[in-house]
Amino acid sequence: MDKKIKIAVSNFKKDPSTVKFKFLINGEKRTGFALLFEGGYYVYKNQCQHLPVELDWEDNDFFDETNKFIVCATHGALYEPQSGLCIAGPCNGENLISMAFEVTKNNIVITV
């Protein structure tokens, strides 16, 4: 059975911004993040595609200094927020793992 995680859209205080969340897959604790970027919502597993490490160095800090790209704090890989495509770094050409979600009036509902 799929598990649903709800994140209130009111948790996104600005554009761009992110909200990190936790979930279980096969008994393993994982994290993901939802992001608001240029008016659109996107949801990804919090894992670099170069090595299995979380992207954020400081909790829920996913954007580079320009607020235009998701950055891996470990390797400096840059990912496009809308597609998850790595455009620079050791995993160039690979994509973040997106997660299924829907946007309702008040929430982002993520399917795990």
Q: What's the mean pLDDT in 26-40?
A: 95
Confidence of residue 51 (pLDDT cuts 50, 70, 90): confident
Kindly report, residue by residue over 2-27, the tens digit of the pLDDT. 799 999 999 999 999 999 999 998 88
Q: What's the mean pLDDT in 29-35?
A: 96
CATH superfamily for domain 4-111: Rieske [2Fe-2S] iron-sulphur domain (2.102.10.10)
Q: What's the mean pLDDT in 69-93?
A: 95
Global pTM reads 0.94
Burial label for 96, CB within 10 Å (0-12, 13-18, 19+), is buried
Q: Which segment of 41-45, 51-55, 77-81, 103-107 scores lowest on mean pLDDT?
A: 51-55
Kindly report, residue by residue over 84-111, the tens digit of the pLDDT. 999 999 999 999 999 999 999 999 999 9
At residue 67, φ and ψ (nearest 5 deg) are: 60, 30
Domain ranges of the chain: 4-111
How much is the pLDDT for 1?
A: 57
How much is the pLDDT for 52?
A: 85
